[in-house]
Each structure stands twice: as structure tokens, then as C-alpha cells.
Structure 1
Amino acid sequence: MTLDDMVKRHGSWLEAGVDEGPVVSSRVRLARNVEEYSFPGWASDEENLAIWNQTSEIFKNQQENFMGWSMAETSKLDKEVLFERHLISQEMAQQEDSCGVFVTPDECLSIMVNEEDHIRIQSLQPGLNLSGAWQAADKIDDRLEEHLTYAFSPKLGYLTSCPSNVGTGMRASVMLHLPGLVLMEEMDPVINGISKIGLAVRGMWGEGTEAAGNMFQVSNQITLGRREDQIIAHLEQIVLELIEHENNARSRLLEERMLVVEDHVARAFGILSNARLMSSGEALNLLSTLRLGLDLGMVDQFSRRELDMLFISIQPAHLQKLEGKELGPEERDVVRADLLREFMENATEDEDLG
């Protein structure tokens, strides 16, 4: 399977059809390093190449038939596609030498090699399923450890490039859609409160990104001194509280600003159905409004998962892959608007047929 094939569909972590309201997906990431080698940022070219060659050989023999991309042999556009699909980090998308990623065909597992750490295992699951994500990550972690000796301290745990990852090396996160809290102007207090209990709130594509389309990633910051199950249990508890706050905010929106919300959703529907130019930022915000309208029963022509998939499909690199050529910013805005109009038209036609 090539990236050209992949952009025509989406990973099963989005396609599973889980209906969990504000929750989009769960992710567990494990950071590991190989003993007797310097961490990637300090390693020599020879050391990084040795790690890449060892891991490449391991994944050639895995039963899942992992797909692999060496960053040295991957175009800038394809790297952006992998980043937009949440399969590599922004940092890896800018790298070239002796590094890359291995991905299962369903895209629920991706393993980056020689990013910030030698090994970065990422497991994605639809909805609120941190335990499932952890089990899948733990399984591939054990299999890698059959071939690699990890840098580990009996006192500290797994040793990592960033001190904040020392210990379990685990970062667990949940992607949530929180337009109710944003519209009620309650998101900033929520973020401040979450940061005081050892959690972080980031944008849709993780560290260093903004919360476009009212999508937020909530993750743990502390990995030292806590077991994996404790990290997951704490994060799940906070996510359930966030869901309750978001649902309460939506109820108050309906009670206090019903007409405003209906107008907001109707305008989003109209613009998406008719616009000839559409930036990615505007599209994300309009799709967010449509998703809220769907959750509130104001529209019913499409599913939540279809909208979640569009959040990725409208991104710049995906549009260019679908078109089969490089596009300038304004050309992308035209293609994006065309794609969204076609989606809205098809959804309306399907509703009429029903």
C-alpha cells in the first residue's frame, strides 16, 4: 500500500464508528532508547544508522506486515501527509538521515525510529479506549524488547532524551471536541485547572499546535513514579469530568442561546455547501460547528465519523495527494471548497433518497 492509496481512506481509529460524543480518539505513546547508544540528538551518524538498520530488520519480520518510510527517501509532501495522519511528529517530518516510521495497515500502530528517542511507539484507538491503546503499545513494546536491550534504570525506569519522559516513558492522551466550553468562554479556566493536576492541553496535532476546530488533546505530563495503569486511570477520570463539563455547557447553550446556536449551525451548513474558496482554518471551524449541530440534533445528514475524517482530508498535503500535483495556497483553497461542497451535496442527496 502506498500513501496515494492511504489518502483515499482513513485509519480504523477513525472508521470504527464509535459514538462517544465529545471524544474522538485515544492515544498511548511509549518512548524507548537502546542501551549503549547515545540518544539520537547526541548520537553520531554511525550510531543512528545502526539503530535504523536494526529496527528495519526487525519490522521486516513482523507478522503485521508493517509499512515503512525512511525519511531520507520520502518527499516533503509525503512527510506532511504522514504528519497530518498523526503517524509521525512535526519534528520527524523535518528530519532526513537514518530515521523513519513503521505503520500497520490499519494505522493504529506507528513506530518512529530516531526521532527524539530511538523508539517512539504510538497506539491509536477510536473513542475513549486508553486501556486498548496501552495493551496494543505494550504488546509491540515487548516484541521489540526481544531484539533490543532498552536503556533502563532500576531506580528511575526507562531512560529518555527528555527528563519529563523518564520512568514509564508513557504519554497517554485523548482527543476531544469541546465547542460548548469554547462558546461559553469556559475553556481557559478548564485548561488552567487541568495544568495544576499534572496534565497538559494541546492542539489537534499535539505539542506546539493550536486547538483548531475546537479539538483539544489532553495528556499526562508526569511519567516518573507512576505505573502505566495509574496514568491511564487518572487521565480517564479527568476526561470523563471534561465530557460532563462539555455536555453541561451544551445544555446551557441550548437553554440560553438556542437561536444563536441554530444560526451558527445553519450558517456553517450554508457556507460549506456553497463556498468557492476555503482556507483550512475556516474549514476546521465550520466542520466543528457542523459536528456540534449533529450532536445537538440540528442536522442529521452525515455521521460524526464522516466529519472527523474530513478534519484530515482537507489538510494541505492530503489535498495535493488527492489532486496528484503540488498546489499553491489559493489553489488549495479552491480544491478544499470543491471537496466540501461535493460532500455536502452528496449528504443532502442521500438524505433526500432516505
Structure 2
Amino acid sequence: MKKWYEEQSVDNDIVISSRIRLARNIKGFYFQERMNRESAIQLVNKVTGLTKDLELKENQKFYECSVNKLRDIDKASMVEYHIISPLLAEKEVETGLIVSQDESISVMVNEEDHLRIQAVASGMNMEKAFLDADRIDDFFSEKLGYVFNERYGYLTSCPTNVGTGLRASYMVFLPALNISGKIDKLAEEIGRYGAQIRGIYGEGTKGLGHIFQISNKTTLGRSEKEIIDNLEKIVDQAVLQERKRREFLLNMNGDEIEDKVYRSYGVLKYAKSINTIDALMMLSQLKLGMDEDLIKLKEPINIHKLMMEITPANLQKSLGKSIGRGERDRYRAEYINKKLPQL
């Protein structure tokens, strides 16, 4: 089965993915701040015990596990593939996960809230992400029952999530805006309309490889549709600005950009050692070159997928063992050498 990030869709030269995340808490359990270990274990067992029922409802395969019992490398790998959040990977209390076979749906248990339901779709397709998350949400609501207040909506550990409990986000590739130093200005502009720009793995992370997340800031006082429609308009404008900036840069410095694209390809194809940051930056330059028809390869390649595959944990998982940084950099170079098609 294809993973969500292996699918091609409209505008995915800029919009890599659309994601919906729902924060929910279950009746009969203290919120995370007051939950003891026994209750945490009970909650994980109660939620993951519904996996088979969920499979029957969704007519697809789901897997479940206790995240805190996994190896650090496995948890890091799932963060790098955006299956779980960095917070869930770091928690030492009992935590659980249910994930679909195509990795587009994941249910995190005992993260900041009892449940974090996440649905991801390739490209600019927030409608699909929302419909998927909404179905999963209805399933767990019926089976478990949520903490809900008629005045305030869904109650959550963090006040900013109270209301719909919905966080919608687009993962976007903004090389031209970032190279031009326009990201801070964009962040200021969209902030006035209730959205924010975060790093590649969410709050407190950096925009590696020119990849960022644009998401709504507030959930209280607006319906799900209002939040999603507002964010879509904001991202439409960000896409427009990125396209205009690309056109400007190519008109002004086309030869220089083309040279950087080919230099990046040469390093990626023939380097003997390369670290994560350099590899992601050069892959992003290659992606820009491919998107703008500055460079042509003999065979198609999914650059975003390759970006995730060469991150530290995923690289070691593909090798089947843990290795040090120096050896990892050499293996990363070899891995990219083999994956990149010829010109």
C-alpha cells in the first residue's frame, strides 16, 4: 500500500501535505497533569483495545503499540515520518499509538491530551484530511465519550485548544521566500489573520530544507469550517507569494540559481560523506530545480520522501543497526548516491 507521502497531487511543488489534528479528552480520567501511572496504563489499554473495531469500521489495516516501550530509534523514526509528535516520543509515562497502514491516520494516546487524532493527506487536500479525522473522531466519541462543555466546547489541557480542539496545518515548501529573507514578514502578515508559521516538526522546531508548517492559532469561537476556510485562504496567498518570488529570482538570478541546482545535484550524486542539514538543503535546491524545470533526471523521484529517508533515525533503520555520526554521514551519502537518477 502506498504511503500518503508517495502520492502526487495538485500544488505539491509548494504544498506538501494537509493535516488535521484533533485534541480530545475522555470522560472518567484526570487530565494529563494529574494522571497517575496506573490510570495512564488503563487509558492506553482502553483505547488500543478498540483497534480491531476501528479496522472493521474503516475497512483497512491498523497497527497499535505502546510507544514508551519502543526503542528510541523507532520513536525517532516515527517523528521523522510525522506519524507521532516529538512530545509523545519524549514522554516516559505509558503512551500508545494506533496508526493506519498508509500512515495517513494516527491516534496518539496520552500526549498532551488523552487523544490526539491526526489525519494527513498529500498536497492541498484539507477536505480529505478533515473527513478522515472526523470519522475517526466519531468512532472514539461513540466508544469512549469525550469531556465536552456546552459553552466552551471540547475541554483540553492547553487553553488554546479549547473549543473545536482542531489544529489544521499545511506543510509547505518555501525556498524562494526563505532565500529572500521574507519568512518573518510572511509570519507577521498571516499572524494578523489567526495563523502561524512553525518549523518542520511543529512548535519550537526549525524550517529545515525550506519546509515549514502553517497552522491556525486559535480554536475557540470558530467552527471547524471557519478555521479550515480561513487557513486555506492564507495558504493560497502564501503559495501566490512563493510563486511570484520564484519568478522574480529566476528572472534576476536565473543562471546563479541553475548553477546551485546543478552543484547540489553533483554533490548529492557523488559525495562520500554528507550530514543531515547539508543533505536536506541540497535536496531542497534540487527539488526547486526540478519543480521549475531547471534540471531533468532520467527517472522520476520523490524528493520529499528521500528527505525523510535520510534523516538520522530512518537512515539507521534502513541499515538495520545504530551507527555513529561519521559512519552515518558516509552511509547517507552512499544512500543518496544510489537513489538519485542520472541526468
TM-score with structure 2 setting the length: 0.95
**Which letter does structure 2 place at the counterpart of 1:258?**
G
**Secondary structure at 1:204 match in 2:** coil
Aligned equivalent of 1:222, options 218, 236, 241? 218
Measured after TM superposition, the shift of residue 303 of structure 1 is: 7.5
Is 1:57 equivalent to 2:53 in the alignment?
Answer: no
**Which letter does structure 1 place at the counterpart of 2:328?**
R
Is 1:99 equivalent to 2:95 in the alignment?
Answer: yes
Is 1:26 equivalent to 2:18 in the alignment?
Answer: yes
Measured after TM superposition, the shift of residue 245 of structure 1 is: 0.3
Q: Which runs of 5+ in 2 are unaligned?
A: none
Deviation per CA, 1:223-254: give whole Å up to 9, x if none.
00000011110000011111100000011011
Determine the C-alpha separation between the residues in 2 that align with 1:53 and 1:210. Answer: 34
Measured after TM superposition, the shift of residue 55 of structure 1 is: 0.4
Q: Which runs of 5+ in 1 are unaligned?
A: 1-8
- Specify the alignment match of 2:39 in structure 1: 47
Determine the C-alpha separation between the residues in 2 that align with 1:100 and 1:207. Answer: 21
Aligned equivalent of 2:73, options 73, 77, 82? 77
> RMSD of the alignment, in Å?
1.5
Deviation per CA, 1:51-72: give whole Å up to 9, x if none.
1111021113222331112123
- Specify the alignment match of 1:163 in structure 2: 159
Q: 1:118 to 1:304 in 2, by over 3 A?
A: farther
Q: 1:227 to 1:182 in 2, by over 3 A?
A: same
Aligned equivalent of 2:231, options 219, 229, 235? 235
- Specify the alignment match of 1:16 in structure 2: 7
Aligned ranges 1:1-354 → 2 under 5 Å: 12-20=3-11, 21-63=13-55, 64-301=60-297, 306-344=302-340, 347-348=341-342
TM-score with structure 1 setting the length: 0.92
**Secondary structure at 2:305 match in 1:** helix
**Which letter does structure 2 place at the counterpart of 1:97?**
V
The answer to whether the 8 A contact 2:48-2:65 is kept is: no
Determine the C-alpha separation between the residues in 2 that align with 1:111 and 1:159. Answer: 18
Instruction: State the number of aligned residues.
Output: 338
The answer to whether the 8 A contact 1:72-1:97 is kept is: yes
The answer to whether the 8 A contact 1:71-1:97 is kept is: no
The answer to whether the 8 A contact 1:32-1:150 is kept is: yes
Determine the C-alpha separation between the residues in 1 that align with 2:339 and 2:331. Answer: 12
